Each structure stands twice: as C-alpha cells, then as structure tokens.
C-alpha cells in the first residue's frame, strides 16, 4: 500500500512541461538549501541564546552570592528572601533555591532536577550552604521558534518570488521557443513540403544551443524541400519516360491505352461527334532503309514522320502516338466513315513528300488500318488489334493506302489465335512431321542432298501451311524449340540415308533469325550431343536479311555454329534489298546462295532476270560459293540455268517435298533412271 502511494507520488511529480520541471527542480533545491541554512542558523541561535541565558543567570548568582552568604551568616531571613525574590524575578530564571548547611531551604519558583546552575555560599571561609538556579529553557525555545517562523515566512516569500521570476525567465528564454519549434516540426505537411519555410524565433540573435537547434532543423527542412523537389522532378521524369517515346517525344504504347480509354468514355457523352476513328499507321519500306542506311537515318525519318502526323492530326483535335518501331497510332473524333477516309487520304498524301536527308532524298509511303469506335470494338485491345489487321490488309493491297476493318478480317485473327494455342500442343504431342525435297547437282544430275521442310496436320485445322504457323511460332518464341527439333531429327534421318546408300548426302535446314537471340542457343550448341559429330554436310539456310542486319549477337552465334563444321546458305536470295556486295562481305561465312523462284519463273522470257542470275553466279563462282536455283518446274528452266553456270537445282520438276519414309524409294528410282546431262554453253 505504501509502495503504491509512493509510486503515485512519483508519478504526480513527473511534470510534462520542461518549464515546470525546471521550476520544480529550482524550488526543490531552494527549499533544500533554505532548510539546511535555517536549521544551521537556528541551532546556532539556540546555542547562543542558551549560552546567553546561562551566562546571565550565572552573573546574577555571582552578584548576589556574597550578599546571600552574609544574610545567612547574620541569620537575616528577610534580607535572604528579598535577594532570592530579586533573583527569581529575572526573566531567564524559572526557579531559585537556597539550601543552608544546616538543612534549611528557601525556594522561589519551580525547580526541576537536575538544576541548571549551583553555586556554594561561603562567608568568612565558612560554608553557609548553596544556591541552586533552574534556568527557563522555554524562553530560549520560544525565541528560536519565533525567529524560525520569521525566517520561514520570509524564505517562502523569497523562494516563491524567485521561482516566479525564474519560471518567467525559463519560459521566455527557453520553453516558449522550444514549444514553437515543437509545433513547427510536428506539422505533417513539412515532412513532404516542396517549399522551404525556415523556423524563425521571436528572440534576439544568440549563438546558443537553441540557435544551433533551429539552424540544424532549418537545414533539415531545406534538405527536405530540396529532396521533395528532386523527387517530384524525378517522378515527373519517370512518368514522362514511362508514357512518352524518347526519340519522337510522342506518347508511347503505355500512354495509348490510357488515352484511348478516356477518349472512349468521353465519346459516349459527346453530342457533337458520334465516332472515334483510330489509325494504325506503318511506314512502308522503313526497315529496309533503316538497315541499309543506318539507324541515324532511320531516326531522322521517324522524327519527320512524327512531325508530319502530329501537324496533320492536331488540325482535327486528334492524338498521335508512337506504337513501336515504325508504327504510329492516331485517333480523332468524327461523324462519318467519309470523314475518316478524308483524313486517311491526307495522311497518305503527307507521306508522299520526300524525306530530306543531309545528302539525299527518300520517298516512303505508309499503310493505314482504320477502325471506328464503337462499331469495330468495345475495348482498346480489340480496337488496336483490328486496326493492325486492317493495316496488314492495306499492305497486301499494294501498300501506300488504307483499309477499314471489316468482320471478314476476323477470320485471320481467329486463325492466328487458334494456331498459337494449337501449335504448343503440336510440339508436345509430336504432331509435326518432316518432309524432304531433293537437291539436284546440275553437273551430273545426281542427288546431292535434301532440304528438310516442316509440315503440320491438325485434327481441326487440317494441313496448316508453314507460311501461316512459322510466323506465329516466331512471334510467340516457340520457333526455337521447333527449329532444334527439325535440326536434330533431320540430321538423324539424312545420316541414316547416307549410311544406307553410301552417299555423301547433305541436308539443308531452315533456321529462324530469332534463334540467334534466344537465351538457350549457346547452351544448346555447347552441350547437345548432336554437335559431338562432324557436321560439315549440314547447311543452315538463313535469310539475306539476317546478314544485312550485321548484328553482333547474330555474328557471334554464327561463328559458334561454324566451329561445329556447319555451313550457311542464303535462302530466297534477291527478294530483299541486299546488293551483290553483301555476298563478298560475307563470303567467309557462306557456302551456298539459293536464288529465289521469282527470278527462275521469268528466267526464260526476261533478259533482265537472266543478266541478274548470271551476275550472281559469276560473283559467287569467283568467291567459291555454290549457287542453287529454287522453283524449277520445267526442262527449259533447267537448261537455261545450266547454261548460266548454276550448280544445283530444286523444284517440282524433280520432286515435290515428300515424307521421309518415301525418300529411300525415290533415291533408288532416281539412281536407276538414266538422266541426260546438259552441257553448259
């Protein structure tokens, strides 16, 4: 119980305010020192008073000692009583008594034993008795108490006054400023404020601890403001980078989604315009220009394209963004399909103006896919995908034009998604099959090898053309698994035929350019068992575009594959934008060039194609590169190619692609059938 009361007392004395605590400490110390000082003074006063009283009493005794002794000697009782009464009347004496030697006593007042003072009475050398005095001690105590009361009252008043003055000084000099500092620092807004507002105290300029504290807090406030401004700037920069293209400063793909959603919401409440037109714009021929003239030239074209589009579309209160690469998105409000057609025509016209470069001029068109909201879709994803589909329709129509989306185009979208989902199962369930087409040596009409061609037959889709599912596989990243499956199975199959027929057959395998950027390519080439054998009879067919890109990553992959003995050939040469100079540049990599069927089809009737094929063959021959012609369908084409010096041929004239089980029979039949070898002119 006592402990609880003590704890309560301690708790009650814990002042929350610093000023109150300081005043309490000051008052406590003042009282303590006052009590000690007063106690010492009172003890001293008591001792001095007692000494004074005793000395007075002793002096009185001495003064009457002889007179009392004489009175006793003379047996003069009256005189004795008079003297004793005079002594008793002294203020400091409480009682007095004479004890004669004969035993008689004379007493005035109260005597308490032991007596305070005693003195013998001697007259003429004879002891007459003694006088005893009891000093009045209460007189000393009363005097000391009176002084203590005076001192305590005056001390209390003094301490109270000093405490009030001290409290006022502490409040004005310290706690008032600390309270303001506290109020200023606890404001939540100051923790994120971008404006520097220093703490200012209403006090003279002192170089003391409070000034140091305020200075430190103001430095912190300034740093907070600077950090908040820097953070805001950095966040604005990040927001801009996240939503705007760094090259053209147009909104990017991320911003397109946000903007179109808002436009679609506004369109529902718009009474002036009934439709939202969305353009998917792709530059025609940009990739070829970018690859041949360099990325700096490509960047200039993109900047100019962005400027043209923005200048045109903003006239209609529209919006232009860069979707990616050489693709742009534009949208604006309109009322009719004819309004959208008019803007699309003007966009096509804007790109017919030449792009002026530092030392040349280029003309690039654009293909535009157009969708209208709300009739062509209900969300941004569908609208953009359908505009993209319409854009490819415009490219198929000859480029440099536009096409509106219609429901018939949905077939391509559905087919694409169906192929995408089923292709994954086809790989897992081993539904893919290899066909092989013979490669004929025109010099002796022998079978020099085979090109491995992938085929896929689905239960629902039927026979799916490679030109449909290969692009889907490349976009979804499935092409790497497909190509290594083809690579490994084709090598194993042709290796078996090489052994069975004792022929040095080669195998040509198509290899997607995207594989060179696949993260598992290096591990596959280093660790797969297929590379433990000599592969100098295996050719990888790549597009001329892969060589034109001159990508360091691609070149590194090619060099790694060359180490295993693999050879490389360019497939469909002449369909891209390369020049014969690229054959020379990459002659150390190439072992064969495959001339596209486009030139072979017109070879007999077109002297220009003949001249081009002859130039290719002549250059390739000078670089020890073999030439194969694709798409041979007649004897005349074969004879013409032999006359031009072509080394190898491939086409339906010899055999269509056939399943692997039918190849042995084809080889035996071919070897048993005599073939006329035409001589070159």
Each residue's pLDDT tens digit, 219-260: 877 787 777 788 777 777 777 777 888 889 999 888 898 899
pTM of the full predicted structure?
0.51
Q: Taking residues 655-659, what's their average pLDDT?
A: 95
User: What percentage of the chain exceeds 70 in pLDDT?
Assistant: 92
Residue pLDDT, tens place only, 500-559: 999 999 999 999 888 888 888 888 988 888 888 889 999 998 876 666 556 677 888 888
pLDDT of residue 345: 94
* Strongest mean pLDDT among 119-128, 545-554, 665-674: 665-674
Is pLDDT at 350 greater than 70 in this prediction? yes
Comparing CA positions, the residue from 236, 224, 249, 322 lying closest to residue 281 is 322
Of residues 541 and 103, more confidence is placed in 541
Is pLDDT at 467 greater than 80 in this prediction? yes
Residue pLDDT, tens place only, 39-97: 788 777 777 777 777 777 788 888 888 888 888 788 777 888 888 888 878 777 878 88
CA dist., res. 520 & res. 505, Å (int): 29
pLDDT of residue 544: 67
Q: Are 123 and 69 in contact (CB under 8 A)?
A: yes
Q: Is 643 exposed, middle or buried (0-12, 13-18, 19+ CB in 10 A)?
A: middle
Cis peptide before 497 (omega within 30 of 0): no
Mean pLDDT, rounded, of the chain: 83
Instruction: Enumerate residues 6+ apart whose C-beta is below 8 A from 87.
Output: 60, 61, 64, 93, 96, 108, 133
Residue pLDDT, tens place only, 381-440: 989 989 998 998 888 787 889 999 988 777 777 777 888 888 888 877 888 999 999 999
CA dist., res. 182 & res. 199, Å (int): 10
Of residues 156 and 432, more confidence is placed in 432
User: What percentage of the chain exceeds 90 in pLDDT?
Assistant: 27
pLDDT of residue 642: 92
pLDDT of residue 106: 81
pLDDT of residue 471: 83
Residue pLDDT, tens place only, 623-640: 899 999 999 999 999 999
pLDDT of residue 451: 96
Q: Which residues pair with 355 in a beta bridge?
A: 362
Q: Distance from CA of residue 317 to its chain's centroid? A: 35
Instruction: Enumerate residues 6+ apart whose C-beta is below 8 A from 340.
Output: 275, 277, 334, 370, 372, 404
The percent of the chain in helix, strand and coil, each rounded to the nearest 5, is 55, 20, 25
Give the strand pairing for 327-334 and 355-356: unpaired
pLDDT of residue 633: 92
Q: Are 435 and 658 in contact (CB under 8 A)?
A: yes
Nearest 5°: phi and psi at 333? -90, 145
Q: Taking residues 124-142, what's their average pLDDT?
A: 80
pLDDT of residue 340: 94
Give exposure, 549-564, as e/b (b: 16+ Cβ within 10 Å): beeeebbebbebbeeb
Residue pLDDT, tens place only, 482-493: 999 999 999 999
Is pLDDT at 681 greater than 50 in this prediction? no
Is pLDDT at 280 greater than 90 in this prediction? yes
What is the greatest pairwise CA distance in the chain?
A: 194
């Amino acid at each position: 119980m006592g402990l609880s009361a003590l704890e309560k007392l301690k708790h009650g004395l814990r002042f929350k305010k610093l000023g109150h605590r300081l005043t309490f400490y000051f008052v406590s110390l003042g009282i303590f020192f006052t009590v000690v000082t007063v106690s010492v003074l009172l003890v001293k006063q008591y001792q001095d008073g007692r000494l004074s009283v005793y000395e007075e009493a002793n002096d009185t005794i001495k003064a009457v000692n002889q007179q009392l002794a004489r009175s006793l000697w003379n047996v003069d009782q009256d005189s004795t009583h008079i003297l004793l009464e005079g002594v008793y009347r002294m203020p400091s004496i409480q009682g007095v008594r004479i004890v004669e030697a004969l035993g008689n006593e004379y007493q005035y007042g109260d005597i308490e034993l032991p007596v305070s003072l005693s003195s013998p009475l001697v007259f003429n050398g004879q002891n007459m008795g003694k006088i005893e005095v009891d000093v009045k001690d209460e007189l000393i105590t009363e005097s000391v108490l009176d002084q203590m009361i005076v001192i305590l009252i005056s001390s209390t008043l003094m301490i109270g006054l000093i405490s009030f003055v001290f409290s006022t000084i502490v409040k004005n000099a310290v706690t008032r400023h600390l309270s303001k500092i506290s109020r200023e620092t606890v404001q939540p807004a100051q923790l994120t404020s971008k404006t520097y507002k220093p703490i200012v105290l209403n006090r003279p300029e002192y170089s003391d601890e409070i000034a140091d504290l305020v200075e430190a807090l103001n430095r912190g406030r300034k740093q907070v403001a600077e950090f908040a401004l820097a953070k805001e700037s950095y966040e604005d920069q990040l927001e801009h980078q996240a939503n705007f293209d760094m090259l053209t400063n147009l909104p990017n793909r991320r911003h397109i989604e946000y903007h179109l959603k808002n436009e679609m919401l506004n369109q529902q409440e718009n009474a002036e315009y009934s439709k939202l037109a969305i353009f998917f714009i792709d530059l025609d021929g940009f990739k070829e220009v970018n690859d041949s003239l360099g990325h700096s030239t490509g960047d200039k074209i993109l900047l100019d394209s962005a400027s043209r589009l923005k200048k045109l579309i903003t006239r209609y209160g529209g919006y232009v963004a860069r979707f990616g690469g050489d693709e742009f998105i534009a949208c604006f409000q309109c009322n009719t399909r004819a309004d959208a057609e008019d803007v699309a025509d003007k966009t096509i016209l804007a790109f017919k103006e030449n792009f002026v470069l530092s030392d040349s001029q280029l003309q690039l068109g654009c293909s535009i896919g157009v969708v209208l909201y709300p009739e062509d879709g209900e969300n941004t994803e569908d609208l953009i995908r359908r505009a993209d589909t319409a854009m490819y329709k415009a490219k198929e129509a000859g480029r440099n034009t536009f096409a509106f989306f219609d429901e018939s185009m949905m077939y391509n979208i559905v087919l694409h998604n169906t192929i995408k989902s089923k292709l994954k199962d086809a790989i897992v369930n081993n539904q893919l099959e290899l066909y092989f087409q013979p490669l004929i040596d025109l010099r002796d009409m022998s079978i020099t090898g085979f090109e491995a061609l992938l085929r896929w037959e689905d239960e629902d889709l039927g026979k799916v053309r490679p030109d449909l599912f290969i692009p889907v596989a490349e976009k979804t990243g499935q092409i790497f698994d497909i190509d290594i499956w083809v690579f490994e199975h084709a090598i194993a199959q042709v290796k078996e035929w090489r052994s069975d027929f004792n022929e040095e057959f080669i195998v040509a395998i198509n290899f997607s350019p995207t594989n060179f950027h696949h993260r598992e390519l290096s591990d596959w080439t280093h660790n797969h068992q297929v590379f433990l054998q000599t592969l100098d009879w295996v050719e990888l067919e790549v597009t001329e575009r892969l060589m034109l890109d001159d990508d360091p990553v691609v070149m590194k992959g090619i060099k790694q594959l060359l180490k295993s003995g693999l050879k490389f050939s360019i497939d469909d040469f002449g369909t891209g934008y390369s020049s014969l100079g690229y054959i020379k540049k990459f002659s150390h990599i190439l072992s064969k060039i495959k001339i596209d069927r486009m030139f072979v089809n017109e070879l007999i009737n077109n002297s220009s194609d003949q001249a081009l094929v002859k130039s290719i063959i002549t250059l390739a021959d000078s670089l020890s590169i073999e030439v194969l012609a694709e798409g041979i369908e007649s004897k005349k084409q074969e004879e013409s190619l032999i006359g031009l010096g072509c080394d190898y041929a491939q086409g339906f004239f010899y055999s269509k692609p056939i399943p692997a089980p039918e190849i042995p029979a084809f080889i035996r039949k071919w070897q048993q059938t005599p073939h006329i070898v035409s001589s070159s002119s």
